[in-house]
Chain A
Amino acid sequence: MEKQEYLSWLSSYTDAEPCTDSQTHLPYYIRANLLKTTPEEYLKWTKLKVIPTFLPYAFRVEDPPDSGLGNTIDYATGWMTTQSLSSMLPPHILNPMPGDRVLDICAAPGSKTTQCAALMHNKGIILANDKNKGRISALVNNLERLGVINTTTMNQDGGRFTTSHKFNKIIVDAPCSGLGSNESAHTWWDELYSRNISALQTAILRRAYSVLEPGGTLIYSTCTYSPDENEQPVFRILENNPDARLEKLDIPNSEPGLNEFGSEFKNAARIYPHKFNSEGFFVAKIRKVD
């Protein structure tokens, strides 16, 4: 899709025009690893120039080193990891606690899994699944570097996911067109692509919802803007499961989900770079009522 056409399409969903170029100038964010340090200790220890965010363990980095944040002592010791602020939202909203049983059904490369483990203080259990065997290596490397000992990995197609276990907290960070995170995605993207991948996202969401305990919470997220990939799969779950509810989110500088799918979508959140200062995202919190 041509850029002007894409921007015109995008501006129908948000009150300002999210400039795709702004994605190349988005700040770098890091997360202090709570399994090895505290935000206070990390701030005293690091030589990086960091600015606090609304999440106590997340920081914006000013003037990152030319060699990259992955080539710092901070990264090598596992005291911090790189992760966009938007990507930290699903675990933050899920709020996993010690003792919880968490499923991350599209887990690789593991930024959200390791954030959940940190919030759980390595207690409880996380099952981190991914369809792509190659990407599981990256997930395992991150689990090892960050010292995660409450997690086991699994290699299943999320759309056909089966397990005898039930979970009280689930993350579905679905594969998507990446319009919010990849500045050139619009060059090959079209609405047909979104409609096709929407079927896969819905299948994954259905499988995940089927292993969610009554009373449990499921977070659905993508890094794209297309309603077919965001509101639509969530709408399908709400439509087919009378026990599913969309719970309200409180995210600064976010916009509500699209009203055309129902008034309850005001409870979901759309994240735009020009407002949130991190990559574009969509997040919805679904509760399975008892």
Chain B
Amino acid sequence: MGEKRFKTYLKDRFGIVLPKDVCFEGGKTQRVMNSELKEFRTPTPKGIRASRMKGVFPKPTTNFIQLFGNLATKNTIEVSREDALNYFRSNDLETIIPAELGYVILTHNGAVLGIGFYRDGKIENMLPKGRRIRVA
């Protein structure tokens, strides 16, 4: 999947239009970086992982969505603080807010939490294991 296809997916699914100086590199796994870094000659990985293919659809990474999810205009779900904590404990969530089948962006009070998979009122938790927190 190339940069163009991923940008189209972000726009179609979430209404995200990225700033012009945000660029990508990679194949099945896309990395996001600024345009100056893209031009920088180095053999080392640039920027951060932005997406990987899951089935036929690209799955944006939690880190990418936490950075750019605030640009989304659709398929975002605002959750309570309790559900935000539940999300970071890696639990699935339930919602009465309607959404399209597929990936949704979860937010709480202006902060982007990450991504989940919405189906029939349930949000499957997509948080990487390494990002879980222990909250009393």
Q: In the complex, are the beta carbons of A71 and B40 less than 8 A apart? A: no
- Which of B1-9, B93-101, B105-113, B115-123 is the contact stretch? B105-113
A144 to chain B: which residues have CB within 8 Å?
48-49, 61, 63
B111 CB to nearest A CB, Å: 5
Q: In the complex, are the beta carbons of A36 and B44 less than 8 A apart? A: no
Complex Cα–Cα for A4 and B50 (A): 53
Q: In the complex, are the beta carbons of A73 and B111 less than 8 A apart? A: yes
Q: In the complex, are the beta carbons of B42 and A78 less than 8 A apart? A: no
Q: In the complex, are the beta carbons of B108 and A153 less than 8 A apart? A: no
A79 at the interface (CB under 8 A from B): yes
Complex Cα–Cα for A153 and B37 (A): 12
B67 at the interface (CB under 8 A from A): yes
A-facing residues in B113-136 (Cβ within 8 Å): 113, 130-131, 133-136
A141 to chain B: which residues have CB within 8 Å?
130
B88 at the interface (CB under 8 A from A): yes
Q: In the complex, are the beta carbons of A125 and B48 less than 8 A apart? A: no
Residue of A nearest to B50 (CB): A149
Q: In the complex, are the beta carbons of B111 and A77 less than 8 A apart? A: yes
A165 to chain B: which residues have CB within 8 Å?
40-41
A37 to chain B: which residues have CB within 8 Å?
111
B91 at the interface (CB under 8 A from A): no
Q: In the complex, are the beta carbons of B36 and A124 less than 8 A apart? A: yes
B102 CB to nearest A CB, Å: 22
A105 CB to nearest B CB, Å: 14
- Which of A14-22, A62-70, A85-93, A220-228 is the contact stretch? A62-70
Q: In the complex, are the beta carbons of B136 and A125 less than 8 A apart? A: no
Complex Cα–Cα for A149 and B19 (A): 13
A45 to chain B: which residues have CB within 8 Å?
109-111
Q: In the complex, are the beta carbons of A125 and B36 less than 8 A apart? A: yes
A35 at the interface (CB under 8 A from B): yes
Q: In the complex, are the beta carbons of A151 and B37 less than 8 A apart? A: yes
Check A152/B135 contact, CB under 8 A, given A36-B66, A73-B84: no
A75 CB to nearest B CB, Å: 7
Count residues of chain A with CB under 8 A from any CB of chain B: 37
Residue of A nearest to B108 (CB): A73
Q: In the complex, are the beta carbons of B33 and A76 less than 8 A apart? A: no
Q: In the complex, are the beta carbons of A147 and B48 less than 8 A apart? A: yes
Residue of A nearest to B113 (CB): A77
A77 to chain B: which residues have CB within 8 Å?
66, 111-113
A66 to chain B: which residues have CB within 8 Å?
136
Q: In the complex, are the beta carbons of B34 and A70 less than 8 A apart? A: no
B135 to chain A: which residues have CB within 8 Å?
67, 71-72
Complex Cα–Cα for A235 and B108 (A): 51
Q: In the complex, are the beta carbons of B67 and A35 less than 8 A apart? A: yes
Complex Cα–Cα for A121 and B23 (A): 15
Complex Cα–Cα for A165 and B133 (A): 39
Q: In the complex, are the beta carbons of A67 and B136 less than 8 A apart? A: yes
Complex Cα–Cα for A148 and B32 (A): 9
B-facing residues in A96-153 (Cβ within 8 Å): 99, 122-125, 127, 141, 143-145, 147-153
Given contacts A72-B133, A149-B37, 15 further A-B contacts (CB under 8 A): A67-B134, A70-B133, A73-B108, A73-B111, A76-B88, A76-B113, A77-B111, A77-B112, A78-B66, A124-B34, A144-B61, A147-B48, A149-B47, A151-B46, A152-B46
Q: What are 24 of the A-B contact pairs (CB < 8 Å)?
A: A36-B112, A45-B109, A45-B111, A65-B136, A67-B136, A71-B133, A72-B135, A73-B81, A73-B108, A73-B111, A76-B88, A77-B112, A78-B66, A122-B34, A125-B36, A143-B48, A144-B63, A147-B67, A148-B47, A149-B22, A149-B33, A149-B48, A152-B45, A154-B42
